[in-house]
């Protein structure tokens, strides 16, 4: 039997009592947990100790490095500069869908290894899987080939990428230890650094629909992410963006794909276009392509062409009709006035309850379920006017969805309209 250099109980006690973990303790903890030599209950206790006591920058950097080393690194030898985007997750956040083909059409290579949704935030792969025939699982060779030929890949992370995070994230999910800056930052960055992209733009959400409810927390997370990326030689920038209101009008799976296609065809909601272009500019700057104007490329139709090639290359039919819901419930304005609140978290939970998301890993999602927002904060409305469409294949889910909208959709006498240009709140660059 292998002799272990540390005992898990001593590592837990050190962190529980507010101490810092040594490099050797961190390397051993991640390695031993990955190979099953630290029990799930011990890792649960350590995750809670980290949640409560925090970690300093050196501990976070080492913890991230150990998680990267737990698996393989992708070797993305392609002819274009590689740059990726990661969002900390929000409601109606379909930005990857128009962004990846847009940045590819501008000349970069975008390797978007994405996840499935859990809880009230949707998952990019669930959205794309609503396209008939589309396949999320690709081999490393297929990823590299598609990046070289088309410039954009959105697919599932390969099994071997940061396996320590895969295990730890599932554990954090059921032990209430997700919302910890050291644990979130190391989780995101271990996967992104192992993915092998040279540049990375982080979309750090703040507001009711985000993990980080306050701007201060979001700023701290953004700084931590940028610090880790820079320390690992990845050119990293973060945008702090508003997630108090759902992004765009569509929240769900197939309806978010449809809205993304509208953007790629030159239309779509103003906030989705604004954020797509802001992220594209940052990505192009990191890729050394700042002379290319993404707004021009979007208007030219070249991003839409790249989208069609990207979807077809993964077996999908970009022209196929998308799944339609079996039932639509219309939510009406209760009075005349102005829509003053459309709370992202409430809408996200309602869409999830309608079947757009899953409560447990591995559950199936309904591709047609979701919410279509027919008005946004600042819009004048009259009593009886449809404000939201609730889409589902299971009408029994409607009362629970309506309950989660209670207090989250308000009509008052007046309210300020949301200013154009107010989605991006701050930019965080390496110091
Ligand atoms: N996304 C991740 O990949 N990890 C986290 O911990 C939170 C969001």
Show Cβ contacts of residue 269 under 8 Å, excluding neighbours closer than 6 positions.
248, 249, 259, 263
| Tens digit of pLDDT at every position of the chain (431 positions) | 679 999 999 999 999 999 999 999 999 999 999 999 999 999 999 999 999 999 999 999 999 999 999 999 998 889 999 999 999 989 999 999 999 999 999 999 999 998 777 667 778 999 999 999 999 999 999 999 999 999 999 999 888 899 999 899 889 988 889 889 999 999 999 999 999 999 999 999 999 999 888 999 999 999 999 999 999 999 999 999 999 999 999 999 999 999 999 999 999 999 999 999 999 999 999 999 999 999 999 999 999 999 999 999 999 999 999 999 999 999 999 999 999 999 999 999 999 999 998 877 678 899 999 999 999 999 999 999 999 999 999 999 999 999 999 999 999 998 887 777 789 999 999 98
- Known catalytic residue at 321: no
Nearest residue (CA) to ligand 1, atom 3: 188
Ligand 1, atom 2, lies closest to the CA of 188
Whether 85 sits among the annotated catalytic residues: the reply is no
Cα–ligand 1 centroid distance for 178 (angstroms): 8
What's the pLDDT at 422? 86
- Tell me what pLDDT residue 118 has: 61
Query: Ligand 1: distance of its center to the CA of 395 in Å?
Result: 32
Stretch (H or E) spanning 410? strand 409-412
pLDDT reported for residue 193: 95
Distance, in Å, from the CA atom of 116 to the CA atom of 95, rounded to the nearest integer, reads 15
- Cβ of 161 less than 6 Å from ligand 1: no
**How many CA atoms lie less than 13 Å away from 72 in the CB half-sphere?**
8
Q: Which of 191, 192, 309, 391 is catalytic?
A: 191
Q: What is the pTM of this model?
A: 0.94
> Probe ligand 1: pick from 178, 180, 243, max atoms within 8 Å of CB?
178
Domains of the chain in start order, with CATH, are 8-54 (1.20.970.10), 83-320 (3.40.1030.10), 327-412 (3.90.1170.30)
Task: Please give the C-alpha separations between residue 375 and each of 119, 206, 333, in angstroms, as whole numbers.
Answer: 24, 22, 10
Mutate to test the pocket of ligand 1, among 50, 90, 169 (most ligand atoms within 8 A of CB): 169
Nearest-angstrom CA–CA distance, 383 and 337: 8
Decide if 87 contacts 205 (C-beta within 8 A): yes
> Which residue's alpha carbon is at the smallest distance from atom 7 of ligand 1?
184
3-state secondary structure of 35: coil
**Ligand 1 binding pocket mutation candidate from 86, 205, 211 (most atoms within 8 A of CB):** 211
H/E stretch holding 259: helix 254-264
366 CA distance to ligand 1 middle (Å): 23
Q: Which DSSP string corresponds to 15-31?
A: HHTTPPPPHHHHHHHHH
Q: From ligand 1's centre to the CA of 318, what distance in Å?
A: 30
What's the token pair of residue 235? 């050119």
Q: Which two tokens stand for residue 322?
A: 């998308």
Distance 294 CA to ligand 1 centre (A): 28
**What is the predicted pLDDT for the residue at 119?**
65
Q: Is 233 left (phi over 0), alpha (psi -120 to 50) or beta?
A: left
């Amino acid at each position: 039997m292998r002799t272990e250099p540390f005992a898990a109980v001593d590592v837990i006690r050190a962190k529980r009592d507010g101490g810092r973990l040594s490099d050797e303790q961190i390397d051993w903890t991640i390695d031993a947990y990955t190979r099953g030599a630290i029990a799930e209950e011990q890792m649960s206790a350590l995750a809670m100790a980290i949640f409560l006591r925090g970690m300093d920058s050196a501990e976070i950097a080492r913890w991230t490095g150990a998680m990267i080393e737990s698996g393989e690194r992708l070797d993305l030898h392609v002819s274009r500069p590689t740059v990726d985007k990661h969002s900390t997750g929000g409601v109606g956040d379909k930005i990857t869908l128009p962004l990846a083909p847009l940045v590819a059409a501008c000349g970069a290579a975008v390797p978007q290894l994405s996840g499935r949704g859990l809880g009230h935030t949707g998952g990019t792969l669930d959205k794309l899987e609503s396209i008939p025939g589309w396949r999320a699982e690709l081999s490393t060779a297929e990823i590299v080939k598609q990046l070289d030929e088309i410039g954009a890949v959105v697919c599932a992370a390969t099994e071997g990428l940061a396996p320590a995070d895969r295990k730890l994230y599932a554990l954090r999910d059921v032990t209430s230890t997700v919302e910890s800056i050291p644990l979130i930052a190391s989780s995101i960055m271990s996967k992104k650094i192992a993915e092998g992209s040279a540049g990375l733009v982080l979309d750090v959400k703040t507001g009711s629909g985000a993990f980080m409810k306050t701007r201060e927390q979001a700023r701290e997370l953004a700084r931590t992410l940028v610090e880790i990326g820079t320390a690992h030689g990845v050119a990293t920038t973060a945008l702090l963006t508003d997630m108090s209101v759902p992004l765009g009008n569509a929240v769900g799976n197939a309806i978010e794909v449809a809205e993304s296609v509208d953007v790629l065809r030159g239309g779509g909601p103003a906030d989705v276009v604004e954020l797509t272009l802001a992220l594209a500019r940052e990505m192009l700057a990191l890729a050394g392509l700042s002379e290319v104007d993404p707004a021009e490329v979007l208007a030219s139709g070249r991003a839409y062409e790249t989208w069609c090639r990207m979807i077809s290359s993964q077996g999908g039919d970009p022209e196929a009709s998308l799944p339609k819901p079996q039932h639509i419930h219309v939510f009406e304005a209760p009075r005349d006035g102005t829509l003053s609140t459309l709370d992202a978290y409430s809408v996200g939970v309602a869409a999830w309850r309608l079947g757009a998301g899953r409560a447990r890993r591995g559950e199936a999602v309904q591709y047609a379920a979701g919410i279509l927002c027919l008005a946004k904060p600042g819009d004048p409305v009259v009593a009886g006017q449809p404000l939201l469409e609730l889409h589902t294949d299971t009408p029994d889910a409607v009362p629970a969805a309506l309950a989660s909208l209670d207090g989250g959709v308000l009509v008052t006498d007046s309210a300020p309209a949301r200013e154009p240009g107010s989605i991006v709140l701050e930019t965080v660059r390496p110091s």
